[in-house]
Amino acid sequence: MPPGLNQIEIEFSSLAFDRADAIRYQYKLEGADADWSGYTLRRSVNYANLKPGDYRFLVRAVNADGALSEAPASAQFRVLAPFWQRWWFLALAATAMGLAVYSLYRYRIARLVEIERVRTRIATDLHDDIGSNLSLIAGLSRLLRDQIGERDHGAGERLSVIAQASSRSVEAMSDIIWAVNPLKDHLSDLSQRMRRFASEAFTSRDIEFSFTAPDLRRNTRIDAETRREVFLIFKEAVNNTIRHSACAHAGVTLEVDHGELVLKVSDDGKGFDQQTAEYGNGLMSMKARAEKLGGRLEITSAARRGATVTLTAPLRH
């Protein structure tokens, strides 16, 4: 039977020399029925909506004395499947899908490699060209300030402003170079840079600090956006601690917990009342960066009990 013609009616009959009207029948369709039907006087059966496949119809007669046919009558037929359900079409479709997935995978890998090369080139150019020029400007400004500062106080102040702006630009450029460098896409690189920044910031203000970063392995990768946003949140938290907490000791903890990056910056300073405190642009920026990462930022504090900033964000590789 061709595809689509999946309805069939089968008629059957049996000979008897006495009481032909008392003959009953049993039937079943192998491939569709699990068992024989009940006894019936009907001499036909209709099957509709048959699935593609091989079938064998069996029917047997039962006379008035209850004797069954010695052998059932049978008929075999096949309902052909449409071409999109046949093995050769499914094999071709699976092959085509496999090739498409492989091509997409190769394309994605090629794009990632291309992006990594671009990031490497940008980091190198920024370091060699712009970073070097900014360092030169900062150095020359300080040199000129020292040479003419005593003779021309106004010029010395302006040169000092240039030197400070250049130094800040060099620092910002260093952060940008670090953020785009694909060789720094590891959690350990983030930990090392945070430790170095915390050491420079807290030590210059005579603040004791501890830095804890357990279970950070070299092969734990982290995507560039997460690395950059986490570091900027950390810098803002450290700067707020230095400017406002009046603390003697600060602590930083960086860890991975169930696929999430957890960063805590705490201090033993004067703290603040969260009910009456007014959050500035820095804290609002930190919260916005946390939401951008799909994470959350929590700030806990109380008057004279210090403060703790906790960032929880997905660790995207």
The per-residue pLDDT for range 116-148, each reduced to its tens digit, is: 777 777 766 665 666 666 666 777 777 776 777
Q: What is the pLDDT of residue 258?
A: 83
pLDDT given at position 188: 86
| Cβ contacts of 28-35, under 8 Å, gap ≥ 24 | 28/57, 28/58, 29/55, 29/56, 29/57, 29/58, 30/55, 30/56, 30/57, 30/58, 31/55, 31/56
Same domain, 196 and 286: yes
**Co-location of 154 and 201 in the same domain:** no
Run of H or E residues at 266: strand 260-267
Residues of the chain with pLDDT under 70: 17-21, 123-136, 145, 149-153, 156, 159, 214-219, 274-280, 317
Domain annotation covers residue 178 = yes
Structure tokens at 129: 């060209």
Residues 212 and 257 in one domain: yes
Whole-number pLDDT of residue 218: 57
> What is the tally of structural domains in the chain?
3
Name the residue range of residue 13's domain. 8-81
pLDDT of residue 276: 64
Residues 243 and 166 both lie in one domain: no
Check residue 75 and give its pLDDT: 93
Residue 130: the pLDDT is 66
The pLDDT of residue 129 is: 66
